[in-house]
Homo-oligomer: A and B are copies of this chain.
Amino acid sequence: MRANRYTYAHPHPAVTVDCVVFGFDNADLKLLLIRRKTPPFQDGWALPGGFVRLDESVEAAARRELSEETGLGELYLEQLFTFGEVNRDPRERVISVAYYALLKLSDHHVQAGTDADAVAWFPVAKLPKLAFDHELVVAHGLQRLKAKVRYEPIGFELLPGKFTLGELQRLYETVLEQSLDKRNFRKKILSMKLLEPLNEYQRDVAHRAAQFYRFNRRRYEQLKKRGFNFEI
């Protein structure tokens, strides 16, 4: 056992980071989880994360842990919430700062790193039991995603470069956990002038081939900044 070498006049908590990374594969909203190598909750599924070092910012710690455990790099991380209840970790008092990221599954390959036994994407609707209070952390992440859908555009980070209106609707339905009327959805989305139709259609599909669209990046950034109210 390592000697206790760091001493303080007052008791100090430990600080960790946890990363809530959502991905979308055109059917399911998925969450990135790792299988823990060490106790507590050994072999249990958990959010990627770990202890903050004293010589790195909290956000840098989130990036480092995500990279070490899952191979992911260069993500846009947004701070989600800090979890500060007293008994959330059986080892000692641990305060955790959670971060949140959205990505396209097709653009990122993940692989278990040094501190994780396995890494996998789970559909948000079918998550395994999670270590620590990570179910609560994930609930906060989903709540943030739902709130965002209401007042700013989402999808740029989650959908591929071109997508059908059906795929976009599926994303909204998955995040909002409710089905939407197809005609109303299309009318609202198209009226925002957020989408550009492409002269390209689905191929090899049994049903009528749907047209592809892409986001107008300038308009997307504008709406993101200005906000709107997407009433459903």
Contact = CB atoms under 8 A, between A and B. Distances in A.
Interface majority SS (helix, strand, loop, mixed), chain A: loop
Interface string A54-72: 1111110100000000000
Nearest to A152: B151
A59 B84 contact: yes
Contact of A84 (B58, B93, B227): B58
A48 B56 CA distance: 26
A227 to B, nearest CB: 5
Contact of A82 (B12, B55, B79): B79
Interface string A189-232: 00000000000000000000000000000000000001111010
A5 interface: yes
Given A8-B6, A12-B6, A151-B151, A82 B97 contact: yes
Contacts of A81: 79
Interface in A124-163: 147, 150-151
A227 B13 CA distance: 37
Interface in A1-48: 1-15
B52 A13 contact: yes
Contacts of A3: 9
B8 A52 contact: no
A93 B54 contact: yes
Per assembly, the copies of the chain total: 2
A82 B82 CA distance: 7
A7 B15 CA distance: 16
A51 interface: yes
A53 B95 CA distance: 11
Given A7-B6, A12-B8, A84 B97 contact: yes
Contacts of A231: 226
Given A6-B8, A59-B84, 19 more contacts: A4-B7, A4-B9, A5-B7, A5-B9, A6-B7, A6-B9, A7-B8, A10-B14, A10-B51, A12-B12, A15-B95, A52-B84, A52-B95, A54-B86, A57-B85, A79-B82, A95-B95, A150-B151, A151-B151
